[in-house]
Amino acid sequence: MAAAGAATPMGAAPMVGLLYDDRMCAHATPDGEKHPENPERLRAIRRKLDAEGIASRCVDLKAKEAKEKYIASVHTPNHIKLIRDISSKDYDYRRNKTASKFNSIYFNEGSSESAFLAAGSVIEVAEKVAAGELSSAIALVRPPGHHAEHDEPMGFCLFNNVAIAANYLLNERPDLGINKILIVDWDVHHGNGTQKMFYSDPRVLFFSVHRFDYGSFYPCEVDAAHCFVGEGAGEGYNINVPWEHGKCGDADYVAAWDHVLLPIAEAFDPDIILLSAGFDAAMGDPLGGCCITPDGYALLLTKLLGFAKGRIVMALEGGYNLKSIANSVCVCAKVLLGDNFTYNSPRMQPFESTWKVIQMVRNELKAYWPVLSSKLPDNVPLRSTPSYIEPYASSGSESDVEDVSELPDAISSANVIQVEDDVLSAHITMLKLDEDNLATKNNSSDSVQAQDDGPVAASTRIYDVTFTWRLTLSKVYVWYASFGSNMWKPRFLCYIEGGKVNGMRISCFGSHDTSPPRGTMWRTVPHRLFFGRSSTPAWGTGGVAFLNPEINYNAESYVCMYKITLEQFNDVLFQENSLVKDNSEDGKLESPSSPLIGLSEIESVSSNKALHLEPIKGSWYSNVLYLGEEDGLPILTMTCSSAAVARHKSGELPLAPPSETYSATLIKGLVEGKQLDANEAASYISSAAARSL
C-alpha cells in the first residue's frame, strides 16, 4: 500500500479505480414503466468502457454496503429506517403510496440494497484514494445522491452518497489527513441536499454550477441562487453558479471554472476532490437542455487535476441520455488514466448572460476570496443570450447525439430548443414541474388592484419571476403573528405549501418558498379581536377575524407567532389580499412584481407601530402592525385599516360571528397551542364575536 495521501510517483501510470456492481441495477420502477433514472444508465457506461478497453486498464472494485452509522452522519434515523425497510415485504402494498409522498421518488424491491451499496461504494473509493492506494477513482453508482435531504429522499436520490463519503473522511478517518474537501457538482441540477449538509462547515468547499432559470428549474429552490454563500463558520464556502437559461455549453462552463472555481480552489488548497459527476448538462440529455460535449467534460476534469495532487473521486449523479453519459464518462476515465487529451471545439464563446452571472458570483464572494477582486477580462467575445429557451431538451434517452463532431455548431448555436409536448409533459411530471407550479408576474401593471371579496380560490403555488427582491428578502426573518385561523399550524401551512384543510372551500396558492417556519411561539397582545364581513370564499357565511389596530390595554388577544422569511410574509400578504390571480386564458398565475413590505418598510413600521399599504388600501388586510420584537426580530401582523374599523362601528360594514368550521379552526389552534382548553377557547371566540365595537 502506498503511504497515506501519497501522490502518483513521477512517470508512473495512474492507478484509477473503477467501481461497478450490477446489484445497483436492481433499483427500478415498480412495474417496469419508463423512467429517465433507470438501470440501463450504468450498463451503458460499463459497455462503453469495456468496448474502449478502459475498464481493463482500471483497478476493478466491487461495492460494499455502507454501515448505518456512517449514513447517520448526514441522514436522520427515520430516513435511514425508511430506506432500509422500503424493499421488505412489509411495504409490498404501500410502497408506491410511500413514494408518492416524496418529490420525484420511486421504490421497488431492490431499492434498499441499491441505496446502501451506492453510499458504501463512494465511501470505498474515497477511502482508497485518500489513503493513496489509488490515484483517482470512478464510482458508477445509482440511485444518485445530491438531491437527498437530511430527512428525506428527493429527486431520484435516496441517500446523499457524496456527503456521506465526505463526512466519513473528515470524521471517521482522521489518520488519512483529509482536512479540506472540495466538492464539485457539475450536474445540471443544483445539489440542494449536499449544500445544506455542509452550509456551515468550512472544511468543505461546495461548488455547484447548474441551471437555475430564475428559480424555475428543478429543484426550484431559492437557495440555488448565487447569494447563498454559507453561514456561520462556513460563510464563503458555498458557491453557486446559476445559469439563467439552457443551451449553456463548454465555453460557459470553462468560463465558470477559469474565473470562479479555479482561483478559489487554489486558495482553498483541498486535500481531495469529490466530484458529483452528473452528466445531464450533456448535449442531448432529455432533462438538462444544456450542451456540454464529451471533450468539454474532459477539459473541466483536466483543469481539476492540478489540485489535491490529482486525487479525484468521481461519483455518478444524473445524466439520462445513454450515449452521451457513456461517451462522457469514457473520456473522463481516459483523462484520469493520463491519456493525452486535445480539446477540439468549433468556437469557444460564452453567453452574455454567463458573463453577467460570473460577475455576480465574483462580487458576492470577493469579500471571502480576495483573489476574485480583480477585474474580469475586457473584450471577451460573447454570444447573444437566447431570447427564448424551452425548459427541457427534446432528445430522448436513445438520442443519436454522440460527440461534438456530429454537431459542429453546438457550442455557438443559440437556436430555440424544440420540445415535443408529450416528451415535455412526461419529464415535467417526473420532476413535479407542471405549469401549475409556476406563475408569472402581473404583466398588465406593477400596481396591485384591490378586491372587495376575501381571498380568491386556486390550488397552485406562487412563482414570481421578479426575483431580485425575493433573493434579498429570503434572507431576512420576521415573526408573523396570527390571531385568526392561522393560529392552527396546518391551516397556516396552506399559505406556505399550498392546499387547504378540512372546512375550507377553496385552496391556497402557497408561497414561492415552501420551507416550514423556523420557530413557533405564543403571546397575548393589547388589541381587540373582532369578527367582521358577512362571508368569505374560503369559509362561507360568517365573519373573519380582525384585530383593532388601536392599542387597548383592557383587551387581550392571543396570537400564534411563526418565524418566517420576509419573502414568505409578503406571499402571505399577497394571498390574504387577493393579489394572486388565476389567468384563465393561459392557465398561469399573476402575482405582484414587487413586495408590499421591504427592508425600508420594516424600518418604517418599527418606528410608527403601523404601516397602511396604500397600493392595496381597499383590501381587507392592508394594515401591517408592529407588535414588538422577539429575539431581535420584528413581530408583524396584518389587519384592517382604522377607516375600516370606523365603517364597522357605523354599521356600514357588518359584524358577524364566524362560521362553525372557521370557529372550529380557531379553537383547534388555541387548544393544540396549549393556550386554552376547548371550552375556554370556544368562550374566547364567542365573547369576541358578541362584543360590539
The pairing of beta strand 527-532 with beta strand 588-591: unpaired
Convert 386-431 into a string of H (helix), E (strand) and C (coil): CCCCCCCCCCCCCCCCCCHHHCCCCCCCCCCCCCCHHHHHHHHHHC
For the chain, give the number of residues.
693
Residue 477 burial (CB count, 10 A): 19
Whether the Cβ atoms of residue 304 and residue 215 lie closer than 8 Å to each other = no
> How many Cα atoms within 13 Å fall on the side-chain side of residue 163?
27
Convert 105-143 into a string of H (helix), E (strand) and C (coil): CCCCCCHHHHHHHHHHHHHHHHHHHHHCCCCEEEECCCC
Whether the Cβ atoms of residue 411 and residue 349 lie closer than 8 Å to each other = yes
Residue with cell 403510496: 97
The rounded distance, in Å, linking the Cα atoms of 575 and 76 is: 34
Run of H or E residues at 263:
helix 262-268
Residue 484: left if φ>0, alpha if ψ -120 to 50, beta else—which one? beta
The candidate with the shortest Cα–Cα distance to 194, out of 137, 253, 237, is 237
The rounded distance, in Å, linking the Cα atoms of 302 and 296 is: 10
Run of H or E residues at 639:
strand 633-639
Name every residue whose Cβ is closer than 8 Å to that of residue 363 and which is 6 or more positions away in sequence: none
Which cell numbers in the block locate residue 389? 429557451
Kindly report the backbone phi and psi dihedral angles of residue 54, in degrees, each rounded to the nearest multiple of 5, phi listed first. Answer: -80, -45
Cα 226 off chain centre by: 13
Task: Give the three-state DSSP class for 42.
Answer: helix
Run of H or E residues at 161:
helix 161-167
Kindly report the backbone phi and psi dihedral angles of residue 204, in degrees, each rounded to the nearest multiple of 5, phi listed first. Answer: -120, 120
Alpha helices of 521-641 — where are they, by DSSP H?
566-576, 599-608
End-to-end CA distance of the chain: 85
Kindly report the backbone phi and psi dihedral angles of residue 421, in degrees, each rounded to the nearest multiple of 5, phi listed first. Answer: -60, -45
Output the DSSP codes for 326-354: HHHHHHHHHHHTT-------S----BHHH
Name every residue whose Cβ is closer than 8 Å to that of residue 274 and which is 6 or more positions away in sequence: 122, 126, 162, 165, 166, 181, 182, 183, 184, 313, 315
Query: 147, 245, 427, 648: which one is catalytic?
Result: 147
Output the DSSP codes for 456-518: PP--S----S--HHHHHHTT-EEEEEE-SGGGSHHHHHHHHH-B--TT-SS-B---SS-PPPS
Whether the Cβ atoms of residue 348 and residue 369 lie closer than 8 Å to each other = no
The rounded distance, in Å, linking the Cα atoms of 310 and 510 is: 47
Cα 389 off chain centre by: 21
Q: Is 189 in the active site?
A: no
Residue 78 burial (CB count, 10 A): 9
> How many Cα atoms within 13 Å fall on the side-chain side of residue 89?
0
Enumerate the active-site residues: 147
